[in-house]
Amino acid sequence: MKIMVPVKRVVDYNVKVRVKSDNTGVELANVKMSMNPFDEIAIEEAIRLKEAGKAEEIIIVSVGPTAAQETIRTGLAMGGDRGILVQHDDDAEPLAIAKVLKAIVAEENPDIVLLGKQAIDGDNSQTGQMLAQLLGWPQGTFASEVALEDGSVNVTREIDGGLETVKLNLPAVITTDLRLNEPRYASLPNIMKAKRKPIDMKTPADYSTDMATRITVLSVEEPPKREAGIMVESVEALVGKLKEKGVI
């Protein structure tokens, strides 16, 4: 079995995000970048499946700038076997990324595409679903448990009021949620080994994919600052204040 794990290079989750002075986007200059946390969970799950003898190869794929090689190397150090980077310096929309991934799937023929449910920069949560639609594959989204069977996979996901388990025939697309696992840290020996693992350098033209943007960002702004709270002495005073503010 072959597993393909798409990953994205994003602003590190520990960094306080700042909006550009001209409100055209988020400041990325001199900002620490790292792998999208949900994608780390996807890689960890792929590695666990390989360690259990249920997968033979893990391919780490990314669409982004040349610097995204480091993101792929992180995945290779965790336990991936090889990488593919589709170089694209501009912002890429979920549909364009899904089309690139579809073309890579056609070349690589993976049994499972395992990716994070969303990226923490755009929070779109669209790429996995769009890829499944383009491929015509079944999909299991927001997975909190993945159990492989012969020719199928059971995906447990959280829903309002409980859990839902869906059975998907392979090949399938699965997107991962936070509760699926705890990603491992790459050891120093594995980091050194990852430097020798191959990364194929591609471009969108290699896959005949149009990366033109179809969405125009009008403005990016920080959320308004919250007003300071006030103390009230009774429930009646609280209700009065809420009525005064037009809340009730």
Residue ranges per structural domain of the chain: 2-220
d(CA 205, CA 224): 42
Task: Identify which has the larger pLDDT, 225 or 72.
Answer: 72
What percentage of the chain exceeds 70 in pLDDT?
100
Q: What is the pLDDT of residues 99-126, one digit of tens each?
A: 999 999 999 999 999 999 999 988 899 9
Confidence of residue 88 (pLDDT cuts 50, 70, 90): very high
Local structure of 193: helix, strand or coil: helix
Average pLDDT across the chain, whole number? 92
Beta pairing class for 57-64 and 2-7: parallel
Confidence of residue 203 (pLDDT cuts 50, 70, 90): very high
Torsions phi, psi for 39 (to 5 deg): -70, -30
Q: What integer is the mean pLDDT of 51-66?
A: 95
Q: What is the pLDDT of residues 226-244, one digit of tens each?
A: 878 888 889 998 998 888 8
pLDDT (0 to 100) of residue 94: 93
Q: What is the pLDDT of residues 211-228, one digit of tens each?
A: 988 888 888 888 888 878
Has residue 129 got a pLDDT over 90?
Answer: yes
**Contact status, residue 39 vs residue 140, Cβ threshold 8 Å:** no
pLDDT (0 to 100) of residue 194: 94
pLDDT (0 to 100) of residue 221: 86
Has residue 3 got a pLDDT over 90?
Answer: yes
Closest CA to 125 of 211, 4, 8: 8
Q: What is the pLDDT of residues 17-33, one digit of tens each?
A: 888 888 888 888 888 99
Has residue 248 got a pLDDT over 90?
Answer: no
**Contact status, residue 31 vs residue 11, Cβ threshold 8 Å:** yes
Has residue 41 got a pLDDT over 90?
Answer: yes
- Give the chain's end-to-end CA distance (angstroms, integer): 57
pLDDT (0 to 100) of residue 230: 83
What predicted TM-score, i.e. pTM, was given to this entire model?
A: 0.86
Local structure of 206: helix, strand or coil: helix
pLDDT (0 to 100) of residue 141: 94
**Contact status, residue 98 vs residue 159, Cβ threshold 8 Å:** no
Local structure of 39: helix, strand or coil: helix
pLDDT (0 to 100) of residue 160: 87
CATH entry 3.40.50.620 includes domain 2-220: yes
Q: What is the pLDDT of residues 74-83, one digit of tens each?
A: 999 999 999 9
pLDDT (0 to 100) of residue 163: 92
Confidence of residue 247 (pLDDT cuts 50, 70, 90): confident
